[in-house]
Amino acid sequence: MAARILLVRHGQTEWSMTGQHTGRTDMPLLDEGRRMAKLLGERLHRAPWNGLPGVEVRTSPLSRAAETCALAGFDGARGWDALMEWDYGDYEGLTPEQIRERAGEDWFIWRDGVTGGETLAEVGERADEVVDWARSADRDVLVFAHGHILRVLGARWLGYDPSFAARLKLDPASLSILGWAYGAPAVERWNDTGHLD
């Protein structure tokens, strides 16, 4: 059983700044996103993490996550499709306001999902694959990925339905840690951006 799984959301991109749904579009990091990734890396290479010796690292193959990983000082991470962001289908590149113009004013992604892309249940299945992998490891694991898949991963780690992810806010370049308390899955740290202050 893994001692813990550390989650990093990629740094800032143009679409994360504007609130556009960025699923499979391979948006690059902005200069600010690169700065954020480096600050995160500096933090993870100081005490108490000390570079996380022996950690197994995986990243979404999309460049915004893979570059965040490399800039944070974790070269050689394996790309893994299970860590790709939610496939938003017809809603790719749209803001929530633009989607509500199409889908109705009460549209809520965690309840209503998307058209032409993945269902929330399918995103949950990918998150379960990551949780199963993390729990089978005998050391810490570190993943670099995207806001919605990481939120679903957090929900599934805790044993909740993927829709619980609606209650788990996650900012760019944030650090979250999932572990154990009294033998049960627990949140040790969530949406920590102290390295950016």
CB atoms within 10 A of CB 136: 10
User: Is 10 a known active-site residue?
Assistant: yes
> Active-site residue among 10, 21, 146, 148?
10
User: Between the CA atoms of 86, 88, 93 and 97, what dihedral angle is there, to the nearest 10 degrees?
Assistant: -110
Alpha-carbon gap, residue 44 to 119, rounded angstroms: 34
Alpha-carbon gap, residue 62 to 83, rounded angstroms: 9
Question: Greatest CA separation found in the chain?
Answer: 49
Task: Please give the angle made by the CA atoms of 66, 131 and 107, to the nearest 5 degrees.
Answer: 80
Do residues 106 and 135 touch, judged by C-beta distance below 8 A? no
For β-strands 5-9 and 175-181, DSSP reports them as antiparallel
> Active-site residue among 56, 67, 85, 118?
85
> Catalytic site residues?
10, 85
